[in-house]
Amino acid sequence: MLPINIARFFSSLFICCTLLLTACSSSQQSPASMSTKSTLYFNGDILTMVGDKPAYAESLVEKNGEIVFVGSLKEARLKYKQAQENDLRGDTLLPGFIDGHSHIAVGMDNISFADLNSPPAGDVKSIDDITTALKNNLQQRNIPEGEWVRGWGYDPDQLIENRHPTKADLDKVFPDHPVFIHHVSGHMAVINSYALKMLNIDETTEDPEGGRYVRLDGSNEPSGLIQGNAIFELFQSFPHPDEKTKKSNFKEIQTYYASQGITTAQDGFAELSYVGLLKEYDKQGLVDIDIVAQIQYLEAEKLYARKDIDFKSYDGRIKVSGIKVVSDGSPQGKTAAMSEAYHTDVPGCKKDCKGIPYVTGEQLISVMTEAYKRGAQVFSHANGDATIDLLLASHQAAEKQLAQDLSDRRTVVIHSQFMRPEQLDDYKKSGFVPSFFTNHTYYWGDVHIDNMGKRRAFFTSPLKSAYEKGIKFENHTDYMVTPHDQLFTVWTAVNRLSRKGVVIGPDERVSAYIALKAITDWGAYMNFDEAIKGTLEVGKFADMVVLSENPVKVEPIKIKDISVLKTIKQGKVIYSK
């Protein structure tokens, strides 16, 4: 499966000044507010995130959306006598959080879906709960007969039945509607008989490359479960919301991101048309946060034909940073491509089940080579070690084809979950930036032990090992796979506790400070934004978040209970609790 005009000015003079300032910027937008006022922050833990150990400042001054002073309160008051004072009253000020991987566009669409998440993200515990939630959604939205009823987030490992629903489960409640329920990983779904017939999927339909229509035991009849690339083909059949609904959904999603302290978001599998929509919203003054988008690789030729995209620069608040390729599936769904087989039964596979590679080496080499030639960053979804092997080999092949060292391209490996230790050495050599996913240790850590054994499960998202090798990494929520709670990613990185209370890989736990570096300083590095974001330093954007407590100082188990009080984008408060 991926952003400054917030204030609108009322005189032509201010408009001209804004345009001139924008033109003078080599790669970024001008500050959100051109006010000459400055704000002085003091009397709290101002954690700058500069360096390898926690460093604090007594005060910070913001002016015109930029940090202009970091230092002693006495000196700040002498230099900025007219500054409006903001007493933090003991709260903690940090750089704004940088989202390492999520899906804003998916979130916009899925707002209208039934919520099928299990606790603690939702309330679904059984297949009956799923059909009840779908039925309620149908009634609330007055969905006419013959139109899609859709739900998001079911997790068979958390259901009483401990299995995927089937078309039969859905058919008995919805005989007159096509039904689609999306697995929490995003890499598989179940549809009912009405939908199968509407899409002409039957026992004669062949599986697409990198995908599978799971069959009923002993026959070729589709069970309703679809995996991998088969689900991406299905997306083309869905209706899209009208313009009014899109705009409303965007505002709602953006507010949600801001409420989590996020000042730079990512859309990790965007369409070009969606980027066009974001740019239009930005012109209308609707975009409050920076959005870094990666275009799905199937649109690569269209992207490269565009003359208005600079992969290192923002256009207003929106930056297209490169290409996203989905290279394998989900570990909890047992479709991530592994070098060793899964230990438990895999739907649609009888023996030696090692997941589903979504792309071939030839395809990946082509995608990476073309992106590197054009200066586009490569972002690859890779969950299993077999896929990571393929990605590393493809990078090396691209280097050979282009006859140059490409270790400065900051190729991002999204998830990087089930690695082998030696692959981290290859990351270091190739300059790869892993965007880890430690939320998995809580949500599916117990499942991973069952599916892959402790050795592999305990090395999932190996933050400590990466840090010790000098690898800068991000950590993400993959919203909507898990809720977009940035402090929960810090909590999982520090504690690595599963739902059952098992520490999933005690040797891979990191300090709260390092976990914060992943979503601030190193998040900016991942996006080639380190000159303007990620730390509280003079000359950088005044992108900041105010927290109720300091994650570095509280007991590790309490980090997830810390509240985001304010989110500040270039000096402007865009969220206040």
pLDDT above 50: residue 519: yes
Hey, is 494 helix, strand or coil? helix
227 with 126, same domain: the answer is: yes
**Nearest of 555, 559, 556, 529 to residue 96 by alpha carbon:** 529
Contact 174, 192 (CB under 8 A): yes
Any domain includes 330: no
CATH code of 178's domain: 3.10.310.70
Give the list of residues 6+ apart from residue 330 with CB closer than 8 angstroms, or none: 183, 185, 186, 187, 188, 336, 383
Any domain includes 229: yes
34 with 58, same domain: the answer is: yes
Contact 442, 492 (CB under 8 A): yes
pLDDT tens digits, 65-99: 999 999 999 999 999 999 999 999 999 999 999 99
Which two structure tokens, joined as six digits, stand for 508? 């891979």
123 with 230, same domain: the answer is: yes
pLDDT tens digits, 296-345: 999 999 999 998 899 999 999 999 999 999 999 999 999 999 999 999 99
Query: Percent of the chain beyond pLDDT 90?
Result: 87
pLDDT above 50: residue 528: yes
pLDDT above 50: residue 535: yes
Cis status of the peptide bond prior to 198, with omega within 30 of 0: no
78 with 158, same domain: the answer is: no
171 with 69, same domain: the answer is: no
Which two structure tokens, joined as six digits, stand for 499? 């739902």
Specify the long-range contacts of residues 134-143, CB closer than 8 Å, at least 24 apart.
134/170, 134/173, 134/174, 134/179, 134/181, 135/173, 137/113, 138/174, 138/177, 141/112, 143/177
503 vs 3, which has greater pLDDT? Answer: 503
pLDDT above 50: residue 7: no
pLDDT above 90: residue 288: yes
| Out of 19-33, 216-230, 252-266, least confident range | 19-33
| Out of 106-120, 283-297, 330-344, 384-398, least confident range | 106-120
| Out of 206-210, 256-260, 573-577, least confident range | 206-210
- CA–CA distance from 189 to each of 168, 233, 235, 430, 538 (Å)? 14, 12, 11, 35, 48
pLDDT above 70: residue 6: no
Which two structure tokens, joined as six digits, stand for 102? 């999520």
Question: Residue 102: what pLDDT?
Answer: 96
Pairwise CA distance, residues 311 & 69, whole Å: 30
CA atoms within 13 Å, Cβ hemisphere of 242: 1
Contact 569, 28 (CB under 8 A): no
Question: Residue 238: what pLDDT?
Answer: 81
180 with 278, same domain: the answer is: no
Question: Residue 237: what pLDDT?
Answer: 78
Any domain includes 551: yes
Any domain includes 406: no
| Out of 97-101, 211-215, 401-405, least confident range | 211-215
- Find the mean pLDDT for residues 423-439: 98
pLDDT above 50: residue 110: yes
Tell me which of 237, 268, 293 is where a domain ends. Answer: 237
Question: Residue 234: what pLDDT?
Answer: 82
Pairwise CA distance, residues 226 & 195, whole Å: 12
36 with 65, same domain: the answer is: yes
pLDDT tens digits, 345-373: 998 898 999 999 999 999 999 999 999 99
Hey, is 40 helix, strand or coil? strand
Any domain includes 320: no
| Out of 10-19, 369-378, 396-405, least confident range | 10-19
CATH code of 542's domain: 2.30.40.10
pLDDT above 70: residue 521: yes
Question: Residue 36: what pLDDT?
Answer: 64
> Residue 128: enclosing H or E segment and its boundaries?
helix 127-140
117 with 226, same domain: the answer is: yes
Any domain includes 464: no
Q: Angle of helix 385-402 relative to helix 421-430, nearest 10 degrees?
A: 30
DSSP H stretches of helix in 421-528: 421-430, 439-443, 445-457, 463-468, 486-495, 512-518, 521-526
pLDDT tens digits, 142-196: 999 999 999 999 999 999 999 999 999 999 999 999 999 999 988 899 999 999 9
Contact 486, 289 (CB under 8 A): no
Which two structure tokens, joined as six digits, stand for 354? 């090692």
Contact 496, 502 (CB under 8 A): no
pLDDT above 90: residue 22: no
**Nearest of 486, 487, 504 to residue 495 by alpha carbon:** 504
118 with 233, same domain: the answer is: yes
Give the length of the chain.
Answer: 577
Pairwise CA distance, residues 559 & 273, whole Å: 39
User: Residue by residue, what is the 3-state secondary structure of 316-366?
Assistant: CCEEEEEEEEECCCCCCCCCCCCCCCCCCCECCECCCCCCCCCCCHHHHHH
Tell me which of 221, 237, 253 is where a domain ends. Answer: 237
Pairwise CA distance, residues 255 & 533, whole Å: 21
Contact 276, 293 (CB under 8 A): no
One DSSP character per residue, 130-178 reads HHHHHHHHHHHTTPPTTS-EEEEEE-GGGSTT-S---HHHHHTT-TTS-
Any domain includes 395: no
CA atoms within 13 Å, Cβ hemisphere of 286: 16
pLDDT above 50: residue 17: no
5 vs 547, which has greater pLDDT? Answer: 547
pLDDT tens digits, 223-233: 999 998 898 77
- Find the mean pLDDT for residues 386-403: 98
Which two structure tokens, joined as six digits, stand for 571? 């000096």
One DSSP character per residue, 292-304 reads EEEEEGGGHHHHH
67 with 153, same domain: the answer is: no
The neighbour count for residue 71, using CB atoms within 10 Å, is: 14
pLDDT confidence bin for 13, thresholds 50/70/90:
very low
141 with 71, same domain: the answer is: no
Question: Residue 355: what pLDDT?
Answer: 96
Do the strands 564-569 and 38-47 form a parallel or antiparallel pair, or are they unpaired? unpaired
140 with 76, same domain: the answer is: no
153 vs 10, which has greater pLDDT? Answer: 153
pLDDT tens digits, 461-501: 999 999 999 999 999 999 989 999 999 999 999 999 999 99
Query: Percent of the chain beyond pLDDT 70?
Result: 94
**Buried-state track 416-453, b at ≥16 Cβ within 10 A, e below 16:** bbbbbeebbebbeebbbbbbbbbbbbbbbbbbbbebbe
Tell me which of 207, 237, 267 is where a domain ends. Answer: 237
Domain total of the chain = 2
Instruction: Report the mean per-residue pLDDT for the chain.
Output: 92
Domain that holds residue 188: 113-237
Any domain includes 348: no
Q: What is the reported pTM?
A: 0.88
pLDDT above 80: residue 34: no
- CA–CA distance from 426 to each of 164, 407, 567 (Å)? 37, 11, 37
